[in-house]
């Protein structure tokens, strides 16, 4: 949480007029998952940063949004699953059952949303939390 805050504060002088800051939050901030108390709380703080900085930076035309991915199939996630003593197949079966779209997301799907938020296509979008989670945190 401190790292996110200090990074924003150090980056702000680089923004002369306008721009887009995208913060990495998580669905864990909205769902209250067992064993993730501190992680969930820090991601909720990141979401709050997006809201508060939106108000603070409006006069500088800097847009700030939070992106909250759900389960994204990456080597890092799979390594974490293995360290919990669970097989990848067990994890996927369990987690996919909670995702309305019936599958985990891909890194490219997250990247496409980041590109949208960074581009002028989202010029009237600020202060939001955008979920890339297959509907997991929505239903």
Query: Phi/psi class of residue 118: alpha, beta or left (left: φ > 0; alpha: ψ in -120 to 50)?
Result: alpha
Known catalytic membership, residue 41? no
Task: For the chain, report the end-to-end CA distance as a whole number of angstroms.
Answer: 27
What average pLDDT does range 69-83 have in this prediction?
Answer: 86
Q: Domains of the chain (ranges plus CATH)?
A: 2-70+105-132 (3.40.50.720)
**Annotated catalytic residue, options 39, 58, 79, 101:** 39
Of 47 and 89, the structure prediction assigns the larger pLDDT to: 47
Q: What is the pLDDT of residue 62?
A: 97
Q: What is the pLDDT of residue 85?
A: 80
What average pLDDT does range 104-109 have in this prediction?
Answer: 97
The pTM is what? 0.90
What average pLDDT does range 110-135 have in this prediction?
Answer: 98
In which band, very low, low, confident or very high, does the pLDDT at 53 lie, cut at 50, 70 and 90? very high
């Amino acid at each position: 949480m401190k790292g996110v805050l200090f990074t924003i504060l150090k980056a702000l002088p680089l923004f002369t007029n306008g721009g887009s800051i995208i913060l990495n939050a998580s669905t864990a901030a909205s769902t209250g998952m067992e064993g993730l108390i501190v992680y969930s709380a820090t991601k909720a703080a990141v979401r709050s940063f997006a809201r508060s900085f939106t108000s603070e930076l409006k006069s500088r035309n800097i847009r700030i949004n939070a992106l909250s991915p759900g389960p994204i199939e990456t080597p890092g996630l799979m390594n974490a699953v293995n360290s919990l003593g669970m097989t990848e197949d067990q994890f996927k079966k369990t987690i996919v059952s909670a995702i309305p779209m019936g599958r985990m997301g891909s890194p490219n799907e997250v990247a496409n949303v980041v590109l949208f938020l960074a581009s002028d296509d989202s010029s009237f979008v600020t202060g939001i939390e955008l979920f890339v989670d297959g509907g997991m945190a929505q239903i």
